[in-house]
Amino acid sequence: MRRPLIAANWKMTKTIEETEEFINEFLPMVKDITDVDILIAPPFTALASASKLLKSSNVILAAQNVYLEENGAYTGEISPRMLLSAGCTSVIIGHSERREYFSESDEIVNKKIKLARANGLDVILCIGESLEQREANKTFDILGGQLEGSLKDLPLDGITVAYEPIWAIGTGKTATAEQANETHVFIREWLKKNKEGADAVRIQYGGSVKPDNVVSLMSQPEIDGALVGGASLKADSFAKLVVGAK
């Protein structure tokens, strides 16, 4: 059995103060949860202070991105070692917003995952198709290509895959539980065919996950958790998602 992983991706919201406020409110709500892994990914600037508050809690701290070099003249970038020193144990890589707005190719994503893993960070690898690609029946081709490129020469340990159909992110349009599961089955089969240890890999769904649809999504056999944007920004809403994933 795979443990569910419910992850909050706060994107470019929350200052240090807002992050602290969230954590202080959220931790008591989930302190007795032992059968779900809980993760939050605040912006870079709030990581170090979040890490102090999360110490000895049951919540994992992740970054939303990382650079693909160890260090050097890369103005504005953040290395895996910096994330470790800020208290992160995990990092989200290849989110569709990074792919789209910051031109992250599968090759870049692959380099980032390799360096993050070499530094001992766990990784949530995001993949997903656009509406146009889904309507043209290209979903599986796109996802297969993203998996192939992003996971090139990489073992699966320490990696979670987040399937996030782009048309469902921030739009209020969730894939139906069956639609999501069918795609997760494809991803699992791809992993089994191409890698060792595919059965242990968690595949999260992301895209307008909310307290009122999390239970039906999580009841699907191949959905092992959720990567959540909008509904993770309020402590009580995110706590409901965690409880709904049990």
Q: Are the C-beta atoms of 185 and 222 separated by less than 8 Å?
A: yes
Q: Select 139 or 208, whichever has its Cβ closest to ligand PGA.
A: 208
Burial of 46 (0-12, 13-18, 19+ CB in 10 A): buried
Q: Does 64 bind ligand PGA (CB under 6 A)?
A: no
* Annotation says 95 is catalytic: yes
Q: Does 104 bind ligand PGA (CB under 6 A)?
A: no
Binding footprint of ligand PGA, residue count (CB under 6 A) = 13
State how far the Cα of 228 lies from the Cα of 215, in Å rounded to an integer. 14
For residue 149, the one-letter residue type is G
Helix axes 16-30, 47-54, angle to 10 degrees: 20
Q: Are the C-beta atoms of 203 and 164 separated by less than 8 Å?
A: no
Burial of 102 (0-12, 13-18, 19+ CB in 10 A): exposed
Among 40, 116, 169, 218, binds ligand PGA (CB under 6 A): 169
Stretch of 12-20, 43-51, 98-106, 226-234 contacting ligand PGA, by CB under 6 A: 226-234
Q: Select 80 or 225, whichever has its Cβ closest to ligand PGA.
A: 225
Distance of CA 89 to the CA centre of its chain: 13
Among 9, 65, 110, 204, binds ligand PGA (CB under 6 A): 9
* Annotation says 184 is catalytic: no
Q: Does 230 bind ligand PGA (CB under 6 A)?
A: yes
Catalytic residue among 129, 164, 184, 222: 164
- Positive or negative, the CA dihedral 80, 84, 89, 91 is negative
In whole angstroms, the minimum distance from the beta carbon of 73 to ligand PGA comes to 31
State how far the Cα of 50 lies from the Cα of 57, in Å rounded to an integer. 11
Subset of 193-222 contacting ligand PGA (CB under 6 A): 206-209
Backbone angles phi, psi at 228, to 5 degrees: -125, 130
In whole angstroms, the minimum distance from the beta carbon of 182 to ligand PGA comes to 19
In whole angstroms, the minimum distance from the beta carbon of 231 to ligand PGA comes to 6
**Which residues have a catalytic role annotated?**
95, 164
Q: Where do contacts with ligand PGA occur on this chain (CB under 6 A)?
A: 9, 164, 169-170, 206-209, 227-231
